[in-house]
């Protein structure tokens, strides 16, 4: 190798060394870290937000086909968050907009990141790893607003006050992952469309006709395996929903009739 070549090689080496020094500085000086092996917390199956005091919160987030739990995290500005991430079924990803949080959620292992939310606003939480046919529906939100308390004040949406039942149902339909399989515009999906379901009879796999009324739809949501709509696979999971949430979903389906 001649002199020009050796010179070029040395310059390239110095360049890469300078880049690496910059990375070391960003990690040690600016405190930007890589996810590491977490052993002090076992994989969990339920999401929650815990106030640890003094603007310090712990968020346990579960990624599952095809929603995050909790689907919406509400925090006050200035929140310092220890985020722990678990995957319930397959591999997912978590990218929180406008932050450096970019994690893989891998079944069987817990991932973690530390993040501070100073600005008020809505931060989309996007699943960025292929996790099945509903992957493109898997998005959560972190809403940072002044005056937010953790845990939120217990105020179930009463009739006439707060969010109307159908409105709440529409939100649940999106955040609980229903929309991943069921369309609301009549087009086919993984499961039957929700358009026109309410108020019409639907034929089941065993030939029975089931009425699209409040009680039958609520039963279908609670126990999806009991009756399966003809022509669709028996794959719908039973979700842990409260009675109020089931009623809100049915109220939403009613608006699609």
Partner 1 sequence: MQPDEGSLRLDATHRAVVLLLIVVPTVLLVLGIYHGVLQALYRAGLIQSSTFLGIEYYQGLTLHGVINALVYTTFFEVAFGYVVVAYYLRCTFDARVTWLAFGLMSGGTLMAAWAMLGGSASVLYTFYPPLRANPLFYVGAALLVVGSWIPFFQWIPAYLRWRRAHPGQKTPIGVVGMLSTFTVWLIATLPLAYEVIVMLIPWSLGWTATVDVVLARTLFWFFGHPLVYFWLLPAYVMFYVMLPELAGGKLYSDDAGRLVFMLFIVLSAPVGLHHQFADPGISSGYKWLHGALTFLVALPSFITAFTLAASLEYAARAHGGSGLFAWWRRLPYWDADRYLFAYFFTGLVLFVFGGITGIINASTVMNNVVHNTAWIPGHFHTTIGGPVFLAFLGMSLFLVAQLTGRRVRYPRLNLWVPYLWTAGVAVFSVGLSVAGLLGEPRRTNLGPTYANPNSPLYHAGWRLWSDLGAIGGIVMGVAMLLFFVVFFGTLLGRRQQEPALALPTAEAYHDGPGRFVLNFRPWVVAAIVLLAIAYVPPIYEVVTGPTQGAPAYEPSSPVVAP
Rounded to the nearest 10 degrees, the angle between the axes of helix 165-175 and helix 243-255 is: 100
Residue 232 in contact with partner 1, rule: CB under 8 A:
no
Residue 130 in contact with partner 1, rule: CB under 8 A:
yes
Pick the piece of the chain touching partner 1 (CB under 8 A) from 109-117, 147-155, 214-222, 247-255.
109-117
Which residues, 6 or more positions from 142, have their beta carbon under 8 angstroms from its beta carbon?
Answer: 72, 73, 74, 75, 96, 117, 122, 123, 125
Residue 107 in contact with partner 1, rule: CB under 8 A:
yes
Residue 219 burial class via C-beta count within 10 angstroms: exposed 0-12, middle 13-18, buried 19 and up: middle
Residue 131 in contact with partner 1, rule: CB under 8 A:
yes
- Scan residues 165-184 and list those touching partner 1 (CB under 8 A): 174, 177
Q: What is the CA radius of gyration of the chain?
A: 24
Name the residue nearer to partner 1 (CB basis): 117 or 212. Answer: 117
Residues 217, 223: Cα–Cα separation, whole Å: 10
Residue 91 in contact with partner 1, rule: CB under 8 A:
yes
Among 45, 50, 102, 230, binds partner 1 (CB under 8 A): 102
Q: 240-255 burial, b for 16+ CB within 10 Å, e for fewer? A: ebeeebbbbbbbbbbe
Residue 81 in contact with partner 1, rule: CB under 8 A:
no
Residue 89 in contact with partner 1, rule: CB under 8 A:
yes
Q: Where are the alpha helices (DSSP H) in 113-242?
A: 165-175, 214-222
- Find out whether 2 and 8 touch, Cβ atoms under 8 Å: no
Among 136, 149, 255, 257, binds partner 1 (CB under 8 A): 136
Residue 64 in contact with partner 1, rule: CB under 8 A:
yes
Residue 208 in contact with partner 1, rule: CB under 8 A:
no
Which residue ranges make up the site for partner 1 (CB under 8 A)? 1-2, 4-5, 8-9, 12-13, 16, 19-20, 23, 26-27, 32-39, 42-43, 64-66, 85, 89-91, 93, 95, 97, 100-112, 124, 126-137, 139, 174, 177, 187, 189-190, 233, 235, 237
């Amino acid at each position: 190798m001649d002199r020009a070549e050796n010179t070029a090689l040395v310059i390239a080496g110095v360049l890469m060394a300078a880049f690496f020094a910059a990375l070391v500085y960003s990690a040690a000086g600016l405190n930007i870290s890589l996810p590491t092996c977490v052993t002090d917390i076992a994989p969990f199956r339920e999401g929650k937000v815990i106030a640890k005091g003094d603007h310090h919160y712990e968020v346990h987030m579960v990624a599952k086909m095809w929603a995050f739990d909790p689907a919406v995290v509400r925090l006050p500005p200035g929140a310092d968050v220890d985020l722990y991430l678990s995957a319930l079924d397959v591999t997912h990803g978590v990218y929180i907009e406008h932050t450096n949080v970019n994690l893989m959620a891998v079944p069987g292992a817990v991932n973690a990141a530390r993040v501070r939310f100073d600005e008020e606003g809505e931060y989309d939480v996007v699943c960025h790893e292929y996790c099945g046919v509903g992957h493109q529906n898997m998005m959560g939100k972190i809403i940072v607003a002044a005056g937010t308390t953790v845990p939120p004040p217990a105020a179930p949406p009463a009739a006439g006050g707060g969010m109307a039942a159908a409105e709440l149902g529409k939100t649940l339909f999106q955040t609980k992952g229903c929309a991943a399989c069921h369309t609301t515009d009549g087009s086919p999906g993984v499961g039957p469309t929700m358009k026109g379901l309410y108020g019409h009879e639907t034929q089941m796999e065993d030939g029975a006709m089931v009425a699209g009324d409040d009680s039958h739809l609520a039963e279908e949501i609670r126990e999806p395996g009991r009756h399966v709509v003809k022509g669709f696979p028996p794959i719908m999971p039973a979700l842990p929903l409260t009675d109020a949430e089931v009623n809100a979903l049915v109220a939403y389906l009613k608006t699609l009739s």
